Amino acid sequence: MQKITSLKTVDDAHLLLDKQDFQTKPSSDQIIDNYPSEKLQNAISELSKFRKLGDCFSITVSRYKNKQADIEEIESEIERDISHKINKKFMQNSKNSKIDFRVHLEQRRILYSVRIDSRPLYFREYRGETEVVERKGLGHTRHDLRQHS
């Protein structure tokens, strides 16, 4: 899992806790009731093998084509459950939290996960040299991104 944090991805990599599919768009109560709290300790244990977790966590709830779900209610209810299970404090701002639990609603599907890296992708500094390789005919052209900054 440590190697995943060094990947140059378009979005944050997450450890999937659970995936739920419903016949209709789930309500806030269904989303809360199906939260996989029994998997929290294992996820925390896995993450703590390669990085410090700190004493706070945050929650990110996002939705796509599911306007009926109440994001604030979901966050509030899940926050209490997580606080009790992992013995850490809730922090509203994920920028300062080293653990971010995610609830992603996609119409009738819910993905429950925890971010693998300690910080969101947009706050991380990239290390080392990055090269872009483009095919031009039969040859390759290499560009060092530092020259184009």
35-59 pLDDT, tens digit per residue, is 998 898 888 888 888 778 888 888 8
Write the pLDDT tens digit of every residue in 136-146. Answer: 444 444 444 44
pLDDT of residue 119: 61
pLDDT of residue 32: 92
Write the pLDDT tens digit of every residue in 105-126. Answer: 988 999 998 887 766 554 545 4
Domain ranges, residue 17 = 2-122
**127 inside domain:** no
pLDDT of residue 144: 40
**136 inside domain:** no
**145 inside domain:** no
* Average pLDDT of the segment spanning 1-23: 68
Contact 36, 19 (CB under 8 A): no
**Total count of domains within the chain:** 1
Residue corresponding to tokens 């199906």: 34
**147 inside domain:** no
Region of residue 137 (phi > 0: left; psi between -120 and 50: alpha; otherwise: beta): left
**139 inside domain:** no
**88 inside domain:** yes
pTM above 0.75, yes or no: no
**131 inside domain:** no
What is the rounded distance in angstroms from the CA atom of residue 26 to the CA atom of residue 106? 10
Write the pLDDT tens digit of every residue in 67-111. Answer: 888 888 999 999 988 988 888 888 886 667 788 888 999 889 999
In angstroms, how far is the first alpha carbon of the chain from the final one? Answer: 31
**128 inside domain:** no
pLDDT of residue 140: 40
| Token pair for 34 | 């199906």
Give the angle 92-94-100 at the CA atoms, nearest 5°.
Answer: 105
Q: How far is CA 53 from the centre of its chain?
A: 14
Return the bridge partners of 133, or none: 142
- Rounded to 10 deg, the angle between the 71-86 and 40-48 helix axes is 70
